Each structure stands twice: as structure tokens, then as C-alpha cells.
Structure 1
Amino acid sequence: MENNREALLQTALNLFSEKGYSSVGVQEIADKVGVGKPTLYHYFKNKEGLLRALFDSYLLVDFPQLEKATERKDDIPYTLQAVAQEFCSLAMKNPEFYCLLIHLFYSGRKDEAYLATKPYLDRLENMILQVFESAAWQLGNMNGRQNQFAHSFLGMVFEYAFSNLQEGKSLQEKDINQLIHQFMHGIYS
């Protein structure tokens, strides 16, 4: 029985990342796994519950590693490097999920999938915001723009990861170093 749950999760991830959440129905997922819709509903209640279970299985499990990367708040370049490196490392391990996450982050704010995953996305955003909040004393020109810096940083990392993963390229440490260097140059100027 547990195999059905895992098969439903994996199939949903494949289909959501390939076609988009709103283009996939529960019947299609159940058919691909070879179970009936009642089996899917037994495990996940509905399609939103299935999406949340994906986020629990991937992002919720990855949060401790991402949070650990933010620990050195006294050294903003080091911390941003560590966060970007960890995010890209996790994305390389689960490219389908991380492409889906990034896609949903930029989806419509009233979209069903966005609303279902908003608590996870907010937690990720707040984690990055806290890095900039903690560094505000170090960077005088950031004064009051911590939110803007956090969004810019997250957008830069998301774009780098998404474009490379979509093209099947690996995420190289030297490229991440250059991204952070470029971002820091913008902060300090």
C-alpha cells in the first residue's frame, strides 16, 4: 500500500513539472499509477493535498540544510554563497521538484497551486529576508531595503538554477561564485 503512495507522489511530480499543476487531473495521475481515484483520495484527500505532500517530501525535508547555510549572518558574502550553493546542490538532487517550486513561486497569487504552497514559499522567502535583516548593520546602503535585496537575491538564484536545470546543465560552483560576486558588487556600490 505504501508503494501506491510513493508512486502517486512520483507520478504527480513528473506530471506537474512536465505539464504544470493546473493541466494535470487526479484521474490522469491515478491512471498512470494504475490505481483508482479513491486510492489517491485515501492518501491525499485532493490534488492540493498531493501537492502539499510533495512539498513536505522535498522542501520541508531540505529546510534544515538551507537554514544551516544561513547561520553565519556576520559574514554576508559567505552566507549568501553558502545559501546559493546549498540551494543549487539540493536542486541538482531533485531537479523536477525544484523547477516546480520555482515555477510556482512566480505563478499567479490567486492560483490554486500557489495558495497551496504559499506557506512553504513564505518560509523560504523569510529565511533569506532574515539574512539581510541581520546584515543591515554591516551594509549602510541597505537601510530599509532588506526586502528588496532578499527578493533580488532569491530571484537571481532561482533564475540561475531554473535555466540551467531546464537545459539539463549542472550547476557549477564557479558560476555560483560569480553570481554572488556580482550580487555583492551591486550591494556595495
Structure 2
Amino acid sequence: MTTRQEGQYKAVPESLAVVQALVNTQYGQGRYAHTELTSPEQLRAWLVGYGLLKEGEPVSEGDLRRVLQLREALRSLLRANVEKEVLTSPIGVLNHLASAAPLKVRFHDDGRGTLEPDIAGVDGALASLIGEVFTAMINGTWGRLKVCRYERCQKAFYDTSKNRSGVWCSMARCGSRQKARAYRHRSRVAQD
């Protein structure tokens, strides 16, 4: 990992890091494909690892399907942070999942308020993730969390550029490929 990439991951606000991690449980295609969360057991371990579920809580196939629905709906929203166009289908999915994942406002000793799940289990984990997304939208950090513009990648990354113009998860990998592809296309067009 390059220093710039390391800085990119360090810059992700802690609250958004888990959202980024969820989206990045699947990305890429072909030999660059990365897939996690293919079973309820893997989902349980992932949720426990991120502190979203207590050890020993049950996780069903239906829970896995709902978390994967959330992941792909979030990926679509993150794509809109690059392309500026929001698709309506992920909004319906998010609203449906949010309706079964109640949140409550909790004020802390320092006077700061947070959204917390008002339910346990996987529904509580979904509520927590949805709450983090909403909070990031309110505090302005959401627009910096994006998915790579390279269609065969779609990895979530946090844009650390001053003007929020980042569109690739890595300039060294995806950005370079896209620029080389565009150059070859221009060269072919110029030769014809």
C-alpha cells in the first residue's frame, strides 16, 4: 500500500469506516474480485468483529440477504457521490430496511448526541449502520465516501482531495488503467 493510499484509509472518519468496510466486503471482477459475507456464519463473525453484534447472537439466511441488500443499496448511493445521479431503487431498499431498524437519540456526558439502535441483533446492526450513514450525511462527510468509477472495481474509498474530485480508489491501479484505456481509444480514433 502506498503512503497516499495509507493516508486515504487513515482519513476515513471512524463512524464511516464500518460503512466503507461493509461495502468493501465485495468489489471487483475476475481475478481482482474480492468477496466476503457468503454465509450467515461469516456475517456473524464480521458483525461481531465490528462491534455491531454480541457474540452468540443468531444470524439467519434472511439476515444475510438483508445485509447484502443494504451493502448494494449503499454502493449505489456512493456511486451517486461520483456520478451525481441517485437511482430510486436503492432509496426504496434503504427505506424498507430502515423501517425495521429503529433508532433513538442518546445524549452523552459531553453534551453530544448520537443515534443508537433501539433494537438488538442483526436489526440493531442494520440500525447502527443506517444511523452512521444518516449522521455522515448531516455532518458533511458522506459526500467524500465514494465507489471507484472503474466499473470493474466499485471499491469504496474516502476521497481526501481538497476539492472532493477523486473518482478512483487508487490512481496507481484503477485510475492508471482508465487513463491508458482512454489514451488508446483516442489514438485509434485519430488513426481512422
TM-score (norm 2): 0.32
| Structure with the higher fraction of residues in helix conformation | 1
TM-score (norm 1): 0.33
| Structure with the higher fraction of residues in strand conformation | 2
